[in-house]
Amino acid sequence: MMQHIKSLLENKTLLLLLAVLYSCGITVLFFIPTDGLPRVNFSSIDKVVHVAVFIILILIWQLYVFRKDGGELSWRKSFLILLSSLIYGILIEVFQGLLTDSRSSDIFDVFANLAGSLIGVVLFQKIKHIFTF
């Protein structure tokens, strides 16, 4: 089993495809109308979802760059990934407010996206050694 996981992680094309598909998938989810979805009284759950989504987003993109660069990921490249995710998170919020009727822009979602991205950067720097083989 471990050998199969290892071989999947060595496939840079597969990692890139995973990163792109995840990015596209969350973009679609951020624009799905919320009219028919059940309402949750716990409003903070939205922020927890944003944090989790962006942790995963950052981890996947860092893993791709890490494997592409032969098992190295500088803080500079992590910062560029972080900056890209911040811009992405801001654009998502702006476009939600402009292009959808059932969603609105929320600055606290941007902060949650940034928090998730920061956690993802730090987490990957702490665990990246397990992806060197």
Q: Which pLDDT tens digit goes with each residue over 101-122?
A: 777 888 999 999 999 999 999 9
Q: Which residues contact 133 (CB under 8 A, 6 or more apart)?
A: 6, 9, 10
Say what the pLDDT of residue 50 is: 95
Backbone angles phi, psi at 71, to 5 degrees: 85, 25
Say what the pLDDT of residue 92 is: 94
The three state secondary structure string of 3-64 is HHHHHHHHCHHHHHHHHHHHHHHHHHHHHCCCCCCCCCCCCHHHHHHHHHHHHHHHHHHHHH
The domain locations on the chain are 2-131
Indicate the pTM of the whole model. Answer: 0.87
Instruction: Between 70 and 39, name the one with better pLDDT.
Output: 70
Task: Look at the block and give the residue holding tokens 């890139």.
Answer: 16
**Average pLDDT of 12-33?**
93
